[in-house]
A = this chain, B = another copy of it.
Amino acid sequence: MDLVNASGRVLAEDVVALYDYPPFDRSEVDGYAVLSSDVAEADEERPVALRVVGSVGIGEVPRFSLGDGECAEVSTGSMVPRGADAVVPVEYTKRVGDVVYIYRPVAPGDNVAHAGSDVLAGDVLLTKGTVLGPVELALLASSGIARVKVYRRVRVGIVSVGDELVEPGRVLELGKVFDVNSYYLYSSVRELGAEPVLYGSIGDDEASLERVLRRALEECDVVITSGGTSAGVGDITYR
Chain A positions near chain B (C-beta within 8 angstroms): 3-4, 7-8, 19, 22-24, 30, 57-61, 75-79, 132-135, 137-138, 140-147, 162-170, 172-188, 190-191, 196, 198, 204, 230
Query: With A and B bound together, what is the CA distance between A177 and B58 in angstroms?
Result: 10
22 CB < 8 A contacts A-B: A4-B183, A4-B187, A7-B187, A19-B172, A24-B174, A58-B164, A59-B165, A59-B175, A61-B175, A76-B230, A77-B164, A77-B177, A79-B175, A133-B187, A134-B191, A138-B184, A140-B183, A141-B180, A144-B169, A144-B172, A145-B169, A147-B169
* A contact face: mostly helix, strand, loop, or mixed: loop
Question: Could you tell me if B8 and A174 are in contact, using CB atoms closer than 8 angstroms?
Answer: no
Considering the complex, give the chain B residue whose CB is closest to the CB of A203. Answer: B59
Q: Determine which residue in A24, A133, A141 has the highest number of CB atoms from chain B within 10 A of its CB, and name it.
A: A141
**Cβ–Cβ contact B4 & A186, under 8 A:** yes
Chain B residues near A61 (CB, 8 Å)?
173-175
Which residues of the partner chain B approach A133 to less than 8 Å between Cβ atoms? Answer: 187, 191
B146 engages A177 (CB within 8 Å): no
A3 touching B59 by the CB < 8 A rule? no
* A77-B164, A141-B182 known; A23 vs B187 contact (CB < 8 Å): no
What's the least CB distance linking A161 to chain B, in Å?
A: 10
Q: Specify which chain B residues have a CB less than 8 angstroms from the CB of A170 in the assembled complex.
A: 144
Q: How far is the CA of A57 from the CA of B79 in the complex (A)?
A: 78
Are A135 and B184 touching (Cβ within 8 A)?
yes
Q: Is the CB of A176 within 8 A of B59?
A: yes
In whole angstroms, how far apart are the Cα atoms of A78 and B185 in the complex? 23
Q: Across the interface, which residues of B come within 8 angstroms of A4, CB to CB? A: 183, 186-187, 196, 198
> Within the assembled complex, what's the spacing in Å between the Cα atoms of A78 and B191?
32
Checking B78, B144, B182 against A168 with a beta-carbon cut-off of 8 angstroms, the contacting residue is B144
Residues of chain B within 8 A of A230, CB atoms compared = 30, 58, 75-76
Alpha-carbon distance between A30 and B231 when the two chains are bound, in angstroms: 13
Q: Are B75 and A186 in contact (CB under 8 A)?
A: no
Q: Which of A145, A178, A185, A186 has the most CB of B within 10 A?
A: A178
